[in-house]
Amino acid sequence: MRLIMLGAPGAGKGTQAKRAAAHLGVPHISTGDIFRANIKEGTELGRKAKEYMDAGALVPDELVCDLVADRISKEDCAKGFILDGFPRTIPQAEALDRALENLGTSIDYAVDIDVPDEAIISRMGGRRACVGCGATYHIKFNPPKQEGVCDTCGKDLILRDDDKPETVKTRLGVYHEQTQPLIDFYSAKGVLVTVDGTQGMDDVFAEIVSKIGA
């Protein structure tokens, strides 16, 4: 089964993508993982991506699409895959369609984990990260044993800049502008599945499995 996970930052799509991949026995693919693997292996695509990243620039759509197309053509993706964080825009979605067409296949489902903006701002504002080991917590859903202190290494827990309400609002604005149109794109293709992301993690996962018939 070939799935795309959609959802705003903080909707929980990464967590659900990993669980679904384990459940289906297919690779969980994120663009970050692809970049790191290609850079580590010193591939031509990896070298090109590294040049942009080292310069602090965004990797161009065309190169991202080439990297994803290369990854999904691997043998371990023959029975399917789950894409997490790609595509982000309509041009990327169209490029993915062409790549899959060349492989004689197509996307089975695009799963949209739907969470209202207010809930995401509240959810991400509760995140805390350890300044020492990087462990993450949530003051409501996964609190440390001692407030403000990491269970693992005893260092301080902080609210990262990325998780501050003003930053989250900016990220959500970018998401709605660039990525929200993908929901219409996949809906028009008849492959969109919408899941209520305000439920508990296990309930979200159960709804995904039920709606994709897995």
Burial readout 179-202 (b: 16 or more C-beta within 10 A, e: otherwise): beebbebbeeeebbbebebbeeee
Kind of pairing, strands 2-6 and 157-158? unpaired
Contact 210, 23 (CB under 8 A): no
Q: Which residue has the tokens 């384990």?
A: 22
Query: Which residues have a catalytic role annotated?
Result: 13, 88, 127, 160, 171
Positions of E strands within 1-63? 2-6, 28-30
Contacts of 169 (CB under 8 A, 6+ apart): 117, 121
Using alpha carbons, select from 200, 130, 117 the residue that is nearest to residue 165. 117
Q: Which residue has the tokens 């501050």?
A: 164
Three-state DSSP state, 193: strand
Distance CA 80, CA 27 (A): 7
